Amino acid sequence: MATVKQILDNKGHEIYSISAKQTVFAALQLMAEKGIGALPVFDGNSLVGIISERDYARKIILKDKMSRETLVEEIMTKEVIYVEGNRTDEECLALMVNKRVRHLPVSEGDDIIGFISIGDVVKAVIDTKEFVIEQLINYIQDKPIIKKD
């Protein structure tokens, strides 16, 4: 199993974020530019929410609002679920499935040290499983076969 810290070490610790006072359009531009589906939202140094493509679809498009006029704080998800770096990939996957979230900020004390997506977590789980399978195959192939008469 990989830890969240290991996932971040492989992925990188860079965090793209947006201010709660910026427009939804600015958030969408940044997400498109960086090829990501969500952004942590900060008010100063405090994490106050997450804005995702899902928030945009459900709270702007379906409600016929204007993304250039609506502020991020009006549509962001305010109930943020965090994980710490010592959590495992399987714990994160279970949390994400149970809470129906696709992105998790990673905290260390009071600081946010990264941001992971369900794609990052699934990749880590698959990589771990593939490694175990490879090790088992190598073990089986290296084991001498003893025939009994």
Q: Which CATH number fits the domain that encloses residue 47?
A: 3.10.580.10
Q: Which structural domain range is residue 130 located in?
A: 4-142
**38-43 sheet: strands from edge to edge:** 18-19, 38-43, 46-52
Domain annotation covers residue 91: yes
pLDDT above 90 covers a percentage of the chain that reads 76
Whether the predicted model's global pTM rises above the 0.75 cut: yes
For the segment 113-119, the average pLDDT, to the nearest whole number, is 95
Domain annotation covers residue 86: yes
Domain annotation covers residue 136: yes
Q: d(Cα 78, Cα 22) in Å, to the nearest integer? A: 16
- How many structural domains comprise the chain? 1
With a cut of 80, say whether residue 10 has pLDDT above it.
Answer: yes
Which value, in Å, is the radius of gyration of the alpha carbons in the chain? Answer: 20
Tokens read off for 49: 């929410």
For the segment 36-45, the average pLDDT, to the nearest whole number, is 93
Q: d(Cα 125, Cα 137) in Å, to the nearest integer? A: 18
Domain annotation covers residue 147: no
With a cut of 60, say whether residue 149 has pLDDT above it.
Answer: no
Domain annotation covers residue 72: yes
Domain annotation covers residue 130: yes
Domain annotation covers residue 39: yes
3-state secondary structure of 69: coil
